[in-house]
Amino acid sequence: MYEYHTLPNGIKIILSHTPARVTYSGVYINVGSRDERGAEEGTAHFIEHSLFKGTEHRKAYHILNRIDGVGGELNAFTTKEETCVYASSLSEHLERCLELFADILFHSTFPLNEIEKEKDVVLEEINSYNDTPSELIYDQYEELAYEHHPLAHNILGTKRNVKRFTPEGLRSFMRSHYTPERMVITVSGDVKMERLVRLCEKHFGAFPPKNCRQDAGAPCPPNTRIEKPTFRVFDRHINRHTHQAHMLIGCEAPDIYHADKTAFSLLNNILGGPAMNSRLNVAVREHYGFCYNIESQYIPFSDTGLFYVYAGVDLDAQDKARKLISDELMKIAENALSEQQLRQAQRQMIGQMAINDDYGLNEMQSIGKAYLCYDHVNTLEEMSADLLSVTTSDLLRVAQERFHPEKFSTLVYGN
């Protein structure tokens, strides 16, 4: 069971009480690279890096030592639509983590000398990314799929933009987007809800919301993104000097609120999930040995979704592998699963969800994002029941709606 609370300024709190000595805590913010415009591209990711570089109360060393000094771990990440700052620590150090989250999220100063050093770090991160085709291909695919839309932006931004970032520009972006009504504090550990609420009120309660009156007593609306993207169909082959051909084949998928999200998630798991018995792994790797790595991913955004299959294959086998992948996508759209196959797929995915949630860090992050998006989090039992309600006809219908050759977009790196 999860416990919920909302502070008067709109910050939401969610707790999963688990009898473990280690507590995982974090803050999810409803802002990502999608919320950047023009010269701002890359700002959310750069802020994520720079939050640890200095506040009104601490220098960079003191920020890092605050959690590391007691054996904990502090980290952060940025996606297209969210930013998350999180920590792992012994339960007795939870207040230390929460106080630090509040300090870096509301009092960061972005010292100029630290920002200039961090620019070099991010520029090297961009160089590293450009040298890794198996990662770069995902970003270029999204640039092609969502051309001229903010979802097309590379999360890292451009070198030109990174070089132009200023402390004032970073502070301005934070004032606009890192506001209480867009935040969720998420905790998994041996913590009582009364103590967690008290600590959150102490360290986060004084920050006023941006878009509603402080005495309203309810959270404000989350980030509204009115520019719905249009998925573009394309077929591109880019010559690169690689030892493998890297390919992505994909299509538009249900968004995070769509009624078909559960059915499509199961469909994705059957096709190219993490298990070795996924259809794509068996068809392309096990039967023919054409590749080392093949997988499918389903990424639901707030108003659209993306599905793609990635494979790194032998250069001489890229055409054969591409046909095998297309054949598997069409098979699942033309032939309904048997009831036995469906039950096996459902059991497998339920087991994967349970194992994932058994690790406190994964659970803390998953419930934080879910609460940010849905204002409620389903338990494992509720998610399992939802998954078991999917029928063979549901899967067939969803596959037939999404998997048409004329709807697929393909990007290939290789000679």
Other Cβ atoms closer than 10 A to 163: 12
Domain with 194 in it: 2-211
Say how far apart CA 283 and CA 275 lie, in whole Å: 13
Is residue 200 located within the same domain as residue 80? yes
Q: CATH number, domain at 349?
A: 3.30.830.10
What phi and psi values does residue 24 have, to the nearest 5 degrees?
A: -110, 125
Positive or negative, the Cα torsion across 315, 317, 320, 321?
A: negative
Residues in the chain, how many?
415
Is residue 271 located within the same domain as residue 182? no
Is residue 284 located within the same domain as residue 201? no
Tokens standing for residue 193: 């809800």
Is residue 271 located within the same domain as residue 360? yes
Instruction: Tell me which residues are annotated as active site.
Output: 48
Is residue 246 located within the same domain as residue 335? yes
What was the pLDDT predicted at 220?
Answer: 40
Structural domains of the chain, count: 2
Say how far apart CA 271 and CA 394 lie, in whole Å: 15
Is residue 349 located within the same domain as residue 400? yes
Is residue 98 located within the same domain as residue 247? no
**CA 189 to chain CA centroid, nearest Å:** 22
Q: Is 84 contained in some domain?
A: yes
What was the pLDDT predicted at 223?
Answer: 52
Along the 415 residues of the chain, how does pLDDT read in single tens digits?
899 999 999 999 999 999 999 999 999 999 999 999 989 999 999 999 999 999 999 999 999 999 999 999 999 999 999 999 999 999 999 999 999 999 999 999 999 999 999 999 999 999 999 899 999 999 999 999 999 999 999 999 999 999 999 999 999 999 999 999 999 999 999 999 999 999 999 999 999 987 544 333 433 444 557 688 999 999 999 998 888 999 999 999 999 999 999 999 999 999 999 989 999 999 999 998 888 899 999 999 999 999 999 999 999 999 999 999 999 999 999 999 999 999 999 999 999 999 998 899 999 999 999 999 999 999 999 999 999 999 999 999 999 999 999 999 999 999 8
Q: Please name which of 261, 339, 349 lies closest in space to residue 299, comparing C-alpha atoms.
A: 261
What was the pLDDT predicted at 214?
Answer: 39
Is residue 135 located within the same domain as residue 101? yes
Mention every residue, 6+ apart, whose C-beta is less than 8 A from residue 282: none
Q: Is 216 contained in some domain?
A: no
Q: Is 217 contained in some domain?
A: no
**Which pTM value belongs to this model?**
0.92
Is residue 247 located within the same domain as residue 204? no
Q: Please name which of 128, 147, 65 lies closest in space to residue 100, comparing C-alpha atoms.
A: 65
Is residue 186 located within the same domain as residue 271? no
Q: Is 125 contained in some domain?
A: yes
